[in-house]
Structure 1
Amino acid sequence: MSGKPKLYYFNGRGKMESIRWLLATAGVEFEEEFLETREQYEALLHDGALLFQQVPMVEIDGMKLVQTKAILQYIAAKHNLYGKDLTERALIDMYVEGTTDLMEIIIWYPFIEPELKEGHLNKIQEKAKNRYFPVYEKILRDHGEKYLVGNRLSWADVHLLEAILMVEEKCADILTHFPLLKVFKTRISEIPTIKAFLQPGSQRKPVPDKIYVETVRTVLQLYRTAPST
């Protein structure tokens, strides 16, 4: 091992993308091993590396961590992105869970049958406009600070920016009625490590394509249902 965290996942976004975002924000270099065959996945299962027979899996600090939330909490705590006390951590967890709920709807979109995609896209836009983005707009308005928690950058800010960009890929004008989120998006995007991650050539993954979808289905042997990725 080089000492860098090593990420085991597909060559695409899924649930690993938020882990990539958080490591990049913290300025942590990482390596990736992409799952491309069923045999690779079964080898990880045979080795006992996948505690619950699921990816993502991250090798970090001598551990093999699974479960996305546990991985993200560890990285956030290690790199001072998880608040200064239990109250701030509770707020960060709450806000992150909200954005995660929205992002999971988007993560499933590429796996939806063609005849259902329009309805699923409408669901993404409706949830963003009416349930999730109004909450974050109100949070920023009510406390008048630049960040969601404690007036300093946290995991919650990184996660929200990722969610905003994901929705904008489906609906470019989604922030029309959310002026504070517009300003937030610009401000967080200019943080040097995040700005670098948003540039071409970084380890940020593109919008999922057919190759990614078919790889996931083949490796996990999931052909008709949306995978838990």
Structure 2
Amino acid sequence: MAGKPKLYYFNGRGRMESIRWLLAAAGVEFDEEFLETREQFENLLKDGSLLFQQVPMVEIDGMRLVQTRAILNYVAAKHNLYGKDLKERALIDMYVEGTTDLMGIIRVHHKLPPEQKEKNLSLIIERATERYFPVYEKVLKDNGERFLLGSLMTWADVQLIETILMAEEKESTILSLFPLLQAFKTRMCEVPTIKKFLQPGSQRKPPPDEKFVATANRVFNRK
């Protein structure tokens, strides 16, 4: 029997968090090795683990996978969260790319100097409420309101709930104009595997802070 997947990254969200979410939603237990020193990173480089000299990296099924999207694709397909045919996969990819775009705006927020944070927060709210959330609200309405592709949960739903919760950390009322997304949030948070992941003490990471930034800078030798 194959062992647990092992995740190599910092003890924080970053690009690994969506991988944690997807594994957790699939009910997969995983181990983590947190990078805290430059030496750890250099050892991974020396032994050839990091194909493109970057993390995240996941050891799974005898492979060492890098590149976030490749890892997510593999996990989703392995655990039946990637649709039943090419058409559904194309839709999942499209919905995932949308949430990835919004996540990118949210993810940089903690890196910005104080004088830029207010502007970025306005951008998060504008993009979420005018560009992205209206799309997912309509998709839910068109597909029966349960999940983005209808009756079965997919990777797209997992990444959407992750994105919703990230956005709400920045603006608690950001879903106020989207009743179907509000109901979707409630429904997704009651999925047993996701409910477990949302409990205190799980492997879900808190919002990034100065310690997370300092660790990444140390590992990558950033000034």
Aligned twin of 1:140: 140
How many angstroms apart in 2 are the aligned matches of 1:68 and 1:124?
22
Q: Which amino acid counterpart does residue 129 of structure 1 have in structure 2?
A: T
Aligned twin of 1:76: 76
Percent sequence identity over aligned pairs: 70
Aligned-residue CA RMSD in angstroms? 1.3
Q: 1:112: Cα distance to partner?
A: 1.2
Structure 1 runs of 4+ with >3 Å offset: none
How many angstroms apart in 2 are the aligned matches of 1:110 and 1:222?
17
> Which stretches in structure 1 are left out of the alignment for 5+ residues?
224-229
How many angstroms apart in 2 are the aligned matches of 1:37 and 1:113?
25
Number of residue equivalences: 223
CA offsets, 1:91-121, max 9 Å, x none?
0010001000110111111111222111111
1:83·1:150 contact (CA, 8 Å) conserved in 2?
A: no
Aligned twin of 1:39: 39
How many angstroms apart in 1 are the aligned matches of 2:51 and 2:161?
30
Q: Which amino acid counterpart does residue 36 of structure 1 have in structure 2?
A: E
Q: Which amino acid counterpart does residue 25 of structure 2 have in structure 1?
A: T
TM-score normalised per structure 2: 0.97
TM-score normalised per structure 1: 0.95
Aligned twin of 1:27: 27
1:85/1:2 CA distance change after superposition, 3 Å: closer
How many angstroms apart in 2 are the aligned matches of 1:115 and 1:42?
35
Stretch of structure 1 that moved more, 122-131 or 164-173? 122-131
1:45·1:53 contact (CA, 8 Å) conserved in 2?
A: yes
> Which stretches in structure 2 are left out of the alignment for 5+ residues?
none
1:147·1:157 contact (CA, 8 Å) conserved in 2?
A: yes
> In structure 1, the residue corresponding to 2:166 is in which secondary structure?
helix
Aligned twin of 1:196: 196
CA offsets, 1:36-91, max 9 Å, x none?
01111111111111111111000000000000000001000000000011100000
Map residues 76-225 of structure 1 onto 2, 5 A cutoff.
Answer: 76-223=76-223
> In structure 1, the residue corresponding to 2:7 is in which secondary structure?
strand
Would you say 1:54 and 2:62 are equivalent positions?
no
Q: Which amino acid counterpart does residue 185 of structure 1 have in structure 2?
A: K
